[in-house]
Homo-oligomer: A and B are copies of this chain.
Amino acid sequence: MRLSDSIESFIKTMLTQEEPEVELKRNELAEYFNCAPSQINYVLATRFTQDDGYVIESRRGGGGYIRIVRVCHGGGQKLLYLVQERIGNAIGEAEAARLIGQLAHERILSPSEANIMRAAISDAALAVPMPEPIKNAVRARTLKAMLTAVARENRPVPPPSAPSDETRL
């Protein structure tokens, strides 16, 4: 079995239902597997991607760490499907807006969450000089990151008709 596979299963073993989050030290893990530290980055980059439903956070410097979060499935089945299969590597504004609208209609997103997402993937937000394909790639990543954030909250399935208008001050 390849080293990368061993490291992958090691990490996945630590991620359980009750503990969907694990924090580790890159150097320690590398030493444990007797490999170059950058090997850890390789494993994370190839097996714990955004599209796989993971979120990676890290800090450098003294007391640094790498945190791996597996986004829970809970009521977010639909969200995970969008992130992992539907959206892909690029998406246009209109199509993204349609997906967001659909999620709002299904009450998976509140009206105000949907508005924020629409703003984030709007052409206005990406109005800097860059090729259209790049814009659509950024849009896709942004949308997936936002949906992942919602899925990560593992919120309860919304009640059938509750107008979940948040009380905002």
Contact = CB atoms under 8 A, between A and B. Distances in A.
B124 A168 contact: no
Interface string A57-94: 00000110000000000100000000000000000000
B63 A2 contact: yes
A62 B145 contact: no
Nearest to A109: B168
Contacts of A127: 141
A23 interface: no
A157 to B, nearest CB: 14
A112 B150 contact: yes
Contacts of A113: 112-113, 116, 166
Contact of A145 (B63, B108, B110, B122): B122
Contacts of A2: 62-63
A144 to B, nearest CB: 8
A116 B117 contact: yes
